[in-house]
C-alpha cells in the first residue's frame, strides 16, 4: 500500500535543491525581485529580520517600536516563519531561506576532503549561548552582535559584489565585512552539510528552533518509526544539522532539525517520514 502521507509531501523532499535555487534567484542579487517592491535591494532596510527584536539599553519604547515599523517586511517575515514552523516544521530554513540555502548549495561544490565536520560540538548550547548574548548584550549595554555579524547582510552582498555592485563590494573592504565572509566560508561553505552557521549563530534560526520544539506536539515534523529503525546510522551521517543520535534507535533532536528530509531519503528501511507527530 502506498504511503500517502509521504507521497503528497514528496514534492518538498524531491525538489528541495530547485526550491532553494528558485528562492536565491527571487530574493538575492542581481534580481532582488521582492526587495524592489519596497524600494530596497537586500535585507537591510524594511526587510531586516534581525534588528527589530533586540532592545538596546536606553532605547525608548517608542524608538523600539519605530524599529518594527522601519522593518515591517522583516517583522512580517519572522512572524510568518515562526508561525509556519510551529505547525509545519522549519521549512523556511530547510527550503526557502536564501541565506542558509546559499551556504548549503555552496558547500555541495566543495570537495569532501576540504570539509569540516562540526558534529562533535553539540549545537543547541552553542546556538542558545550565542542567542542569549544576542538578546542580552545590547539590553545591558555590552555591545551588540546584530549588524556586525550578520548573515543576512553578508550573503546577499556576496552576490551583489559578484555582479560588481560598488556598495556591495565596499562591504568587504572593511574588517567587519571580511570577518563575516570568513564566518560564512568556514561555517557555511566548508562545513559538512553546509549548515553549521545556521546551526550555531543565526538568531532567526535560534528563535525558529524554539518554535519548532514548542510546536512539536501540535504540528508536523520528521518522525522515526521505532519499529522499522534498525539503528544503522545512515540517517545521522547525512544530517546537515547533526540532529540525529543513535541511542537505542534513531532519535531526532527537534531543537536542531529542519525538515531537509535527507534522513528520510537515506533510510533504507523507510523508518523516517514527515508527518503528524505520534504519541
Partner 1 sequence: MTPKNIIVFIAAAAVSLAAANTRFGDSAHAIGVIKANGGSARHASHLDAGKDAYTLIATATVIPPYRGDARITLEGEPKLDCKLYSSGPVLDLGIRRHPVFREDTLFDLQPKDRIAIWAVIKPPAIDPVCGMAVKDDFVSEQHGGKSYRFCSDDCLNNFRLNPDKYKNNAAQGKYTLAFTDTATGKRVLDIPVLLGGKEGAGDGGHQH
The alpha carbon dihedral of 94, 256, 198, 240 has a sign of negative
Closest CB 262 distance from ligand SF4, rounded Å: 4
Site string for ligand SF4, 132-161 (x = CB under 6 A): -------------------x----------
Quick count: other Cβ atoms within 10 Å of Cβ 233?
12
DSSP state for residue 44 in the 8-state scheme? S
When asked if residue 133 is in the footprint of partner 1 (CB under 8 A), the reply is yes
Compute the distance between CA of residue 134 and CA of residue 143 in angstroms, rounded to an integer: 9
Which grid coordinates are listed for 131? 542567542
The partner in contact with residue 153, picked from ligand SF4, partner 1, none with C-beta cut-offs of 5 to 8 angstroms by kind, is partner 1
Query: How many angstroms separate the Cα of 80 from the Cα of each of 33, 35, 75, 215?
Result: 19, 17, 8, 14
When asked if residue 117 is in the footprint of partner 1 (CB under 8 A), the reply is no
When asked if residue 202 is in the footprint of ligand SF4 (CB under 6 A), the reply is yes
Q: Tell me how many residues contact ligand SF4 (CB under 6 A).
A: 24
Counted residue by residue, the chain has a size of 279
Determine the interface stretch with partner 1 among 3-11, 74-82, 167-175, 231-239 (rule: CB under 8 A).
167-175
The partner in contact with residue 204, picked from partner 1, ligand SF4, none with C-beta cut-offs of 5 to 8 angstroms by kind, is ligand SF4
DSSP3 helix / strand / coil % (the chain, rounded to 5): 55, 5, 40
Residue with smaller CB distance to ligand SF4, 77 or 161: 77
Residue with smaller CB distance to partner 1, 56 or 237: 56
Which grid coordinates are listed for 94? 530547510
The partner in contact with residue 241, picked from ligand SF4, partner 1, none with C-beta cut-offs of 5 to 8 angstroms by kind, is ligand SF4
Residue with smaller CB distance to ligand SF4, 161 or 257: 257
When asked if residue 9 is in the footprint of ligand SF4 (CB under 6 A), the reply is no
CB 279 within 8 A of CB 237: no
Determine the interface stretch with ligand SF4 among 18-26, 37-45, 97-105, 122-130 (rule: CB under 6 A).
97-105
Angle between helices 151-162 and 175-184 (to 10 degrees): 100
Closest CB 241 distance from ligand SF4, rounded Å: 4
Does the bond joining 30 to the residue before it have cis omega, within 30 degrees of 0?
yes
* Sequential DSSP letters for 46-109: TT-SSSTTPPPTT--HHHHHHHHHHTHHHHHHHHHHHHHHHHH-SHIIIII-HHHHHHHHHHHH
Closest CB 35 distance from partner 1, rounded Å: 7
Selection from 218, 271, 279 nearest residue 3 by Cα:
271
When asked if residue 224 is in the footprint of ligand SF4 (CB under 6 A), the reply is no
Binding site for ligand SF4 (CB under 6 A): 93, 97, 99-100, 151, 198, 202, 204-205, 222, 238-241, 243-244, 252, 257-263
Binding site for partner 1 (CB under 8 A): 29-33, 35-39, 41-42, 44-45, 48, 51, 56-57, 121-122, 124-130, 132-134, 137-138, 141-150, 153, 159-160, 163-171, 173-177, 200-201
Amino acid at each position: 500500500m502506498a504511503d500517502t502521507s509521504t507521497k503528497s509531501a514528496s514534492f518538498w523532499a524531491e525538489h528541495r535543491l530547485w526550491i532553494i535555487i528558485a528562492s536565491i534567484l527571487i530574493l538575492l542579487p542581481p534580481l532582488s525581485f521582492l526587495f524592489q517592491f519596497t524600494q530596497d535591494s537586500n535585507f537591510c532596510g524594511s526587510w531586516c529580520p534581525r534588528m527589530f527584536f533586540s532592545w538596546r539599553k536606553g532605547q525608548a519604547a517608542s524608538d523600539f517600536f519605530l524599529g518594527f515599523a522601519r522593518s515591517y517586511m522583516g517583522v512580517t517575515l519572522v512572524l510568518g516563519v515562526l508561525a509556519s514552523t510551529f505547525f509545519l516544521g522549519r521549512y523556511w530554513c530547510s527550503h526557502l531561506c536564501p541565506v542558509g540555502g546559499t551556504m548549503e548549495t555552496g558547500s555541495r561544490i566543495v570537495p569532501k576532503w576540504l570539509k569540516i565536520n562540526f558534529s562533535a560540538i553539540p549545537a543547541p548550547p552553542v546556538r542558545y549561548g550565542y542567542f542569549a548574548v544576542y538578546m542580552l548584550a545590547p539590553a545591558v549595554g555590552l555591545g551588540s552582535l546584530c549588524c556586525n555579524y550578520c548573515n543576512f547582510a553578508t550573503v546577499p552582498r556576496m552576490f551583489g559584489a559578484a555582479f560588481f555592485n560598488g556598495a556591495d563590494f565596499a562591504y568587504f573592504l572593511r574588517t567587519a565585512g571580511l570577518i563575516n565572509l570568513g564566518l560564512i566560508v568556514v561555517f557555511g561553505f566548508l562545513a559538512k552539510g553546509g549548515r553549521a552557521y545556521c546551526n550555531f549563530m543565526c538568531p532567526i534560526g535560534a528563535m525558529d528552533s524554539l518554535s519548532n520544539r514548542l510546536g512539536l506536539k501540535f504540528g508536523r515534523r520528521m518522525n522515526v518509526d521505532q519499529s522499522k529503525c534498525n539503528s544503522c546510522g545512515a540517517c545521522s551521517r547525512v544530517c546537515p544539522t547533526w540532529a540525529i543520535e543513535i541511542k537505542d534507535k534513531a532519535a531526532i533532536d527537534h531543537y536542531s532539525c529542519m525538515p531537509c528530509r535527507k534522513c528520510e531519503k537515506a533510510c533504507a528501511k523507510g523508518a523516517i517520514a514527515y508527518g503528524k507527530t505520534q504519541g
